[in-house]
Amino acid sequence: MESLDFLFYPKSVAVIGASHVPGKVGNAIMRSITLRFEGKVYAVNVKGGEIEVNGKKFKVYRSIKEIPDEVDVAVIAVPAKFVPDVIDECGEKGVKGAIVISAGFKEAGRADLEEELLKRARKWGIRVVGPNCLGVTNLENGFDCNFNPPERQARPPFGKVAFMSQSGAFGAAILDWAAREKIGMSKFISLGNMADLDESDFMDYLGDDEKTGVITGYLEGVKDGRKFLETAKRVTLKKPVVILKSGRTEAGAKAAASHTGSLAGSYAIYRAAFEQSGVLEATTMRQLFNYAKVLAMQKPAKGDRVAIVTNGGGAGVMMSDGLLERGLKMAELSEETLKKFEEDVRAGKLPAHMSYKNPIDVIGDAPSSRYEIAMRYALEDPNVDVLVVIALFQSPALDEGIIDAVERMKAYGKPIVFVAPGGDFPHKMARNIEQKGIPVYETTEDAVDAVYALVKYGEWLRENGKL
Amino acid sequence: MESLDFLFYPKSVAVIGASHVPGKVGNAIMRSITLRFEGKVYAVNVKGGEIEVNGKKFKVYRSIKEIPDEVDVAVIAVPAKFVPDVIDECGEKGVKGAIVISAGFKEAGRADLEEELLKRARKWGIRVVGPNCLGVTNLENGFDCNFNPPERQARPPFGKVAFMSQSGAFGAAILDWAAREKIGMSKFISLGNMADLDESDFMDYLGDDEKTGVITGYLEGVKDGRKFLETAKRVTLKKPVVILKSGRTEAGAKAAASHTGSLAGSYAIYRAAFEQSGVLEATTMRQLFNYAKVLAMQKPAKGDRVAIVTNGGGAGVMMSDGLLERGLKMAELSEETLKKFEEDVRAGKLPAHMSYKNPIDVIGDAPSSRYEIAMRYALEDPNVDVLVVIALFQSPALDEGIIDAVERMKAYGKPIVFVAPGGDFPHKMARNIEQKGIPVYETTEDAVDAVYALVKYGEWLRENGKL
């Protein structure tokens, strides 16, 4: 398959339906595209004239054909009935990709209009995103045709997680949320009606995209089951794919049918397809990003045996429950490791009453130096595949040295997940620790998701001789 | 049972083991207690002298007996071995309650010392909190013996949720988290070893406490199963009780045994006990507070039929899935309701392509006025017991009028749960809506928890003729 790079890295873009009226979609798109993107942007509207956006003036061409330059991508936001003719004009102009924001096609009972749009695009060899979508957002170069204004929907920082969504509104909420949570994203695709390009095409593209480390998606139904399965099998060997499939229940499937027209299909079949193709299935929004964050930051696990180091006994108990309930295992520490702990306790380097039978409870008065001993012993143990570090920062004994201490643990090459429950101080610490490449979660249940993703994806790679 | 008010509303308190050394527990407790609390606070330390805390000077009495005033409550933070004698002195002084912060008892292999402590307290009729705990925090009057400093662990605003915790560290994290999430709390009790007062005693007390609307707790094991069951059955008819029971799995139970020494017991028995006594069981920290928040703000539901109003189809699908997966029902809107929608669509008051077959999808360009029509029709329908309103605030069409519109819906007397996924703007809106008494959640999965709690608690009250 050809690369879709031209859709995400256009040199020159035309916004067809550009408007000077604030609040109109064609105005909002101009605002978004011209904010950070450094490629050329041309405004097109049959009315002609001039418009000002973000303090810059743009001549308005009456047709894309009048633009005295090549155009790679057209972003189309004119009433649905005009779209097929606009596609023809794009074809004459030599446009490679059309991002059709306009609604009023299949989702509004006009399958005929969508057919016509597709026919014209095929004739000219134009690839189409949408219609009925928020277009694409490339967080790397700021190419962003999302019409939601930044004061309502923030954009996340550039990073490794790609997201594609069959629901534009939910996609927008996710971007806004990721911005607040400081989760770095590479590319966002609002899939819309998928008249031409579908979830498999983008999965394929993102699989080869160097800037994307993890592919995530919200889907109500796939367009072509066989194509999805075949693509997913290939892509998941290159990088993790996490899908939130909704329409799982009868009520959900009905709602999906009236939303995207997706035949949600039997959920059992979807589950089997995900299982067979190494796709990690998330069932909630938070889980989707719990999986994505850890997979973007840590290597998959080589096994399912987990060690816990904690300064709070209760959190250790909750974490143990959570792991077991998800089918994971508590590591049995080796004799040698237990001996190391015993000796340190005897020598007074570790406190007499600490428990080191996994969960390793370094006790509420632990400074970071005590954490470091425990983390090292756990990671040196051949029976440990994943380390979970729980820090209750409410204890004033726990100094900020923990940030560098946990970074030093990366040398062991085993995946690490950090948990820091609480309020503002733990949040500040979390951002510092994440800058060192260790993902931090707010609750033990979120960290259970993270460990599960590392173990599950590791299993898939091992089964396929890739780990 | 006598009221434990004296523990939460003391007129006069002695801190035994008060210290002038910053960082010491006896200093941190003085700092916490004297920050907001307006009762009398006396410092006691065998060393005597004077200490300064929060800019105020305190004479240090060498013994509680030297204090020239009555003392209701003693907060004890001296080495464990001295505690029994300190209790005797408290007895002579006429103290009613002893909050023993000191560790080094049963949890450290000194069950004998704990027995001795208890024997002395019984002799004098002193009720004991702890030992080995963070004491109690009354958010109403600022009586707060928690030694975690405010810069590490914030205190939540005063509100309706009481929390008791068998894990001090986890309790502290919860307070810190509640402060950040602006969840109002009434009282916090760190249960510690429960030598005397246990979870049932506090549940009983909180059941009669006018300031508490919802009782929540983190437990690894209950001290006396029969007492718990009998107390819970009584209290849950007055107000909701939500318990997070950890040590559910074999690994969790083992961890609990080495943490609090709790015999976690068979989880099946706990589940049965919760079921029989109307206790709502939460299995994660987030769920605990999803339940607590809605129960503090809304009335229990009279049935399990849920209507959804949303401006995002995808979120409606996810919400439908979540509800069905938890055993709840999508309401079937009555013929009359459907007719009202049809007429409004025909009259152009509602858009032609909106779906009103629950989820009621008011579409991405909905202003608050359109939401208001849909919310009213849903709430007027006798087939609807609970209303879920989903607002994707990323859409600039959705104006802030939604805040007052949803407040007006309270007139229908049916419980309402609001969902606002995303980043900073939705968070701001959420705080405004919560000030109107409607709980707002960040994800559909959290809102599913909320609806579940309202329905489940409503069922319990109905079964017992209380609703």
Is B144 part of any domain? Answer: no
| Type and span of the H or E element at B429 | helix B424-434
- The sign of the CA dihedral B426, B333, B362, A265 is positive
**Looking at residue B266, what is its pLDDT?**
87
Q: Identify the residue among A318, A443, A445 best suited for mutation to test binding to B, counting B beta carbons within 10 A and taking the highest.
A: A318
Q: Does B256 touch chain A (CB under 8 A)?
A: yes
Q: Are residues A254 and A314 in the same domain?
A: no
Instruction: Verify whether the Cβ–Cβ distance A361 to B149 is below 8 Å.
Output: no
Give the 3-state DSSP-derived string for chain A, with helices as H, strands as E and coil as C.
CCCCHHHHCCCEEEEECCCCCCCCHHHHHHHHHHHHCCCEEEEECCCCCEEEECCEEEEEECCHHHCCCCCCEEEECCCHHHHHHHHHHHHHHCCCEEEECCCCCHHHCCHHHHHHHHHHHHHHCCEEECCCCCCEEECCCCEECCCCCCCCCCCCCEEEEEEEECCHHHHHHHHHHHHHHCCCEEEEEECCCCCCCCHHHHHHHHHHCCCCCEEEEEECCCCCHHHHHHHHHHHCCCCCEEEEECCCCHHHHHHHHHHCCCCCCCHHHHHHHHHHHCCEEECCHHHHHHHHHHHHHCCCCCCCEEEEEECCHHHHHHHHHHHHHCCCEECCCCHHHHHHHHHHHHCCCCCCCCECCCCEECCCCCCHHHHHHHHHHHHHCCCCCEEEEECCCCCCCCCCCHHHHHHHHHHHCCCEEEECCCCHHHHHHHHHHHCCCCCEECCHHHHHHHHHHHHHHHHHHHHCCCC
Q: How far apart are CA B318 and CA A262, in angstroms?
A: 14
Dmax of chain B from CA atoms?
Answer: 85
Q: Identify the residue among B394, B395, B400, B429 best suited for mutation to test binding to A, counting A beta carbons within 10 A and taking the highest.
A: B394
Backbone angles phi, psi at B344, to 5 degrees: -65, -35
Q: What is the mean pLDDT of chain A?
A: 96
Q: Are residues B368 and B428 in the same domain?
A: yes
Is A148 part of any domain? Answer: no
pLDDT of A391 above 70: yes
Is B145 part of any domain? Answer: no
- Number of domains forming the structure of chain B: 3
- Give B406-422 pLDDT, tens digit per residue: 999 999 999 999 999 99
Tokens 């805040």 label which residue?
B403
The distance of A288 to chain B (nearest Cα, Å) reads 12
Which of these three, A269, A297, A325, is where a domain ends? A297
Confidence of residue B34 (pLDDT cuts 50, 70, 90): very high
Helix (H, G, I), strand (E, B) or coil at B431: helix
**Looking at residue A264, what is its pLDDT?**
58
What is the β-pairing status of strands A280-282 and A360-361?
unpaired
Residues on chain A touching B324 (C-beta within 8 angstroms): 249-252
pLDDT of B32 above 80: yes
Which residues between 30 and 89 in chain A have a beta carbon less than 8 angstroms from any beta carbon of chain B? Answer: none
Is B81 part of any domain? Answer: yes
pLDDT of A1 above 60: no
pLDDT of A266 above 90: no
Q: Does B111 touch chain A (CB under 8 A)?
A: no
**Looking at residue A94, what is its pLDDT?**
97
Is B140 part of any domain? Answer: no
- Give A110-145 pLDDT, tens digit per residue: 999 999 999 999 999 999 999 999 999 999 999 999
Q: Are residues A306 and A428 in the same domain?
A: yes
Q: Are residues A112 and A170 in the same domain?
A: no
Which of these three, B246, B275, B297, is where a domain ends? B297
Which of these three, A297, A314, A336, is where a domain ends? A297
> Average pLDDT, stretch B451-457?
98
Name the closest residue on chain A to residue B393, using Cα atoms: A152
- Give A410-458 pLDDT, tens digit per residue: 999 999 999 999 999 999 999 999 999 999 999 999 999 999 999 999 9
Q: Does B176 touch chain A (CB under 8 A)?
A: yes
The distance of A162 to chain B (nearest Cα, Å) reads 17
Instruction: Verify whether the Cβ–Cβ distance B169 to A321 is below 8 Å.
Output: no
Contacts for B448 with CB less than 8 Å, ≥ 6 apart: B319, B322, B323, B325, B326, B328
Q: Are residues B223 and B114 in the same domain?
A: no
Q: Are residues B13 and B84 in the same domain?
A: yes
pLDDT of B261 above 90: no
Q: How far apart are CA B199 and CA B204, in angstroms?
A: 9
Q: Are residues A201 and A343 in the same domain?
A: no
CB distance B90 to B64 below 8 Å: yes
Residues on chain A touching B180 (C-beta within 8 angstroms): 422-424, 427
The distance of A180 to chain B (nearest Cα, Å) reads 5
- Give A147-203 pLDDT, tens digit per residue: 999 999 999 999 999 999 999 999 999 999 999 999 999 999 999 999 999 999 999
Is B349 part of any domain? Answer: yes
Six-digit token string for B293: 């928040």
What is the β-pairing status of strands A40-44 and B416-419?
unpaired
- Give A88-114 pLDDT, tens digit per residue: 999 999 999 999 999 999 988 899 999
Instruction: Verify whether the Cβ–Cβ distance A314 to B218 is below 8 Å.
Output: yes
Which of A172, A285, A324 is facing B252, going by the closest CB pair?
A324
Residues on chain B touching A353 (C-beta within 8 angstroms): 107-109
Six-digit token string for A69: 């330059």
Q: Are residues A231 and A306 in the same domain?
A: no
Q: How far apart are CA B429 and CA B415, in angstroms?
A: 19
Give the 3-state DSSP-derived string for B387-421, with helices as H, strands as E and coil as C.
EEEECCCCCCCCCCCHHHHHHHHHHHCCCEEEECC
CB distance A405 to A305 below 8 Å: no
pLDDT of B264 above 70: no
Name the closest residue on chain A to residue B426, using Cα atoms: A152
> Average pLDDT, stretch B276-303?
97
Q: Does A395 touch chain B (CB under 8 A)?
A: yes
Name the closest residue on chain A to residue B312, using Cα atoms: A169
- A61, A302, B389, B435 from B403: Cα distances, Å: 42, 50, 12, 9
Name the H helices within B37-131: 83-93, 111-124
- Give A321-363 pLDDT, tens digit per residue: 999 999 999 999 999 999 999 999 999 999 988 999 999 999 9
What is the β-pairing status of strands B158-165 and B185-190?
parallel
Is A231 part of any domain? Answer: yes
Q: Does A166 touch chain B (CB under 8 A)?
A: yes
Tokens 């995400």 label which residue?
A8
The distance of A70 to chain B (nearest Cα, Å) reads 33
Helix (H, G, I), strand (E, B) or coil at B88: helix
Residues on chain B touching A423 (C-beta within 8 angstroms): 153-154, 176-177, 179-180
Residues on chain B touching A175 (C-beta within 8 angstroms): 394
Which of A260, A320, A421 is facing B177, going by the closest CB pair?
A421
Confidence of residue A467 (pLDDT cuts 50, 70, 90): confident
Instruction: Verify whether the Cβ–Cβ distance A169 to B312 is below 8 Å.
Output: yes
The CATH number linked to A326 is 3.40.50.261
- Give B124-172 pLDDT, tens digit per residue: 999 999 999 999 999 999 999 999 999 999 999 999 999 999 999 999 9
Q: Does A157 touch chain B (CB under 8 A)?
A: no
pLDDT of A258 above 90: no
Q: Does A204 touch chain B (CB under 8 A)?
A: no
Contacts for A5 with CB less than 8 Å, ≥ 6 apart: none
Q: Are residues A78 and A164 in the same domain?
A: no
| Percentage of the residues of chain B whose pLDDT score is greater than 70 | 99
CB distance B183 to B124 below 8 Å: no
Q: Does B146 touch chain A (CB under 8 A)?
A: no
Residues on chain A touching B428 (C-beta within 8 angstroms): none
The distance of B430 to chain A (nearest Cα, Å) reads 14
Instruction: Verify whether the Cβ–Cβ distance A285 to B444 is below 8 Å.
Output: yes
Q: Does B218 touch chain A (CB under 8 A)?
A: yes
pLDDT of B1 above 60: no
Could you tell me the residue range of the domain that residue A266 belongs to? 153-297
Q: Identify the residue among B165, B318, B324 best suited for mutation to test binding to A, counting A beta carbons within 10 A and taking the highest.
A: B318
Residues on chain A touching B361 (C-beta within 8 angstroms): 258-259
The distance of A258 to chain B (nearest Cα, Å) reads 7
Q: Are residues B329 and B444 in the same domain?
A: yes
Q: Which of A249-253, B375-379, B457-461 has the lowest mean pLDDT?
A: A249-253
Strand partners, A161: A185, A214
What is residue B157's DSSP assignment?
Answer: P
Which of B148, B244, B251 is facing A394, going by the closest CB pair?
B148
Confidence of residue B183 (pLDDT cuts 50, 70, 90): very high
The distance of A305 to chain B (nearest Cα, Å) reads 13
Is B146 part of any domain? Answer: no
CB distance A279 to A216 below 8 Å: no
Which residues between 89 and 108 in chain A have a beta carbon less than 8 angstroms from any beta carbon of chain B? Answer: 107-108
Backbone angles phi, psi at B305, to 5 degrees: -95, 120
Dihedral angle, C-alpha B243, B249, B252, B257, nearest 10 °:
90
Confidence of residue B255 (pLDDT cuts 50, 70, 90): confident
HSE of A296 in the Cβ direction (CA atoms, 13 Å)?
Answer: 28
Q: How far apart are CA B356 and CA B309, in angstroms?
A: 9
Which of B169, B252, B285 is facing A312, going by the closest CB pair?
B169
Q: Identify the residue among B148, B283, B317 best suited for mutation to test binding to A, counting A beta carbons within 10 A and taking the highest.
A: B317
Q: Beta-carbon neighbour count of residue B275 at 10 Å? A: 12
Residues on chain A touching B282 (C-beta within 8 angstroms): none
Which residues between 316 and 345 in chain A have a beta carbon less than 8 angstroms from any beta carbon of chain B? Answer: 316-318, 320-325, 330
Q: How far apart are CA A83 and CA A76, in angstroms?
A: 8
The CATH number linked to B102 is 3.40.50.720
Q: Are residues B310 and B333 in the same domain?
A: yes
Q: Are residues A204 and A218 in the same domain?
A: yes
